[in-house]
Amino acid sequence: MSDRLKALADAGVSIWLDDLSRERIATGNLAALVEDKSVVGVTTNPTIFASAIADGERYDDQVRGLVADGADVDRAIFELTTEDVRNACDVLGQVAAATEHDGRVSIEVEPALARDTDGTIASARALWAAVDRPNTLIKIPATAEGIPAITAAISEGISVNVTLIFSTDRYREVMEAYLVGLERARAAGRDISGIRSVASFFVSRVDTEIDKRLEKIGSDEALELRGKAAVANARLAYAAFQEVFSGDRWDSLAADGARVQRPLWASTGVKNPDYPDTLYVTDLVVANTVNTMPEKTLDAFADHGEVTGDQVSGRAAEAQRVFDALDAVGVDLPDVFVVLEDEGVEKFAVSWNELTETVQQQLDNAAG
């Protein structure tokens, strides 16, 4: 087992792999990552599935069966992806049984539903029922329309990975949605101890957008702030997490078995080659969090990552000074977060289109 990854896990960071394929499952690669690299969860997205299906012969038999059954592309996507997630959940089943929070595999609702509350709720129900594993997480975007869908899903006992969170203001709405969902579930007589949730706070994209604006401003003060916003943003988010999951309201839920909704650091692959390739892992080490990494980042940390203790707790004031400095040089932070959310929704939609085209091609090939 990688000593560096074990040190990261020992520091309280759950290591999740941001990738999945039928090849990984069938060859035992995923199980080996669990055994050798401290991987205790998996996240997916349409791009990951498109790549896996385009390159993997292990889907061929199921595709031929879907063609014979007259399945259209939407049904084929649903069947192919839920099969992979179900099998990955089984690989991670022992982890889920042995830990309070981990062993989870995420699958997201169709991105076209990001602005559709009712559609998101219906999709979450369908995915939850189809995968039919308690260690599944249904990914719901943290749009204004997604917030009530999160509450509805949690209230029905559906575990949720809230995705596309960029600002602490929206993050607070996400945590409130989770708490209200738990309260409604409890009021309905549900056992809330089985409900799990993570809140996926996107990291690298914040630096990408803000660095671009800082370079356009061009002053020495502005340029000095490059590469500092994303980590500061995450540190502010963690302070909000500590605040919300404490006090009488949370204690009442916890007494009935509720589990905290852990922050998950997403988009942790470094986009700027000038930055250390483990930046968004090393600088965000803190207990009670998840870091979901593409395999490239996972391997980089295994090779040369460093764990030097808690890098997040008690640093909210320092992080706020970074944000105050960004505001002072002219970065419109509210606009940054609006742009990032809109771009995030659009990127998910583009990824879904890519997945649709890939699966349609597979169906066409199988049909001859």
What CATH number did the domain enclosing 140 receive? 3.20.20.70
Please report which helix (H) or strand (E) contains residue 355, including its range. helix 333-367
Cα–Cα distance measured from residue 134 to residue 111, given in angstroms and rounded to the nearest whole number: 23
Decide: 182 and 214 in contact? Cβ < 8 Å.
no
Give the per-residue pLDDT at 368.
76
* Integer CA distances (angstroms), 300 to 122, 176, 185, 201, in order: 39, 36, 41, 21
Decide: 232 and 347 in contact? Cβ < 8 Å.
no
Tell me the catalytic residues: 139
Tokens of 74: 């939407």
Range of the domain at 196: 3-367
Entry pTM: 0.96
Give the per-residue pLDDT at 56.
75
Strands (E), the chain: 13-17, 39-42, 104-108, 136-141, 160-165, 197-202, 262-266, 289-293
Tokens of 177: 């949605």
Decide: 161 and 140 in contact? Cβ < 8 Å.
yes
Sign of the Cα torsion 90, 50, 345, 239 reads positive
User: Which DSSP letter does residue 112 get?
Assistant: G
107: nearest Cα among 42, 59, 157: 42
Give Cα 2 distance to the centre of its chain. 23
pLDDT, averaged in runs of 10, over the chain (368 residues): 90 98 96 97 94 90 96 97 98 97 97 96 98 98 98 98 98 98 98 98 97 98 98 98 97 98 96 95 98 96 96 98 98 98 95 95 91
Amino acid at 233: N
- β-partners of residue 201 are 165, 265
Cα–Cα distance measured from residue 284 to residue 240, given in angstroms and rounded to the nearest whole number: 15
- What total number of domains does the chain contain? 1
Give the per-residue pLDDT at 1.
57
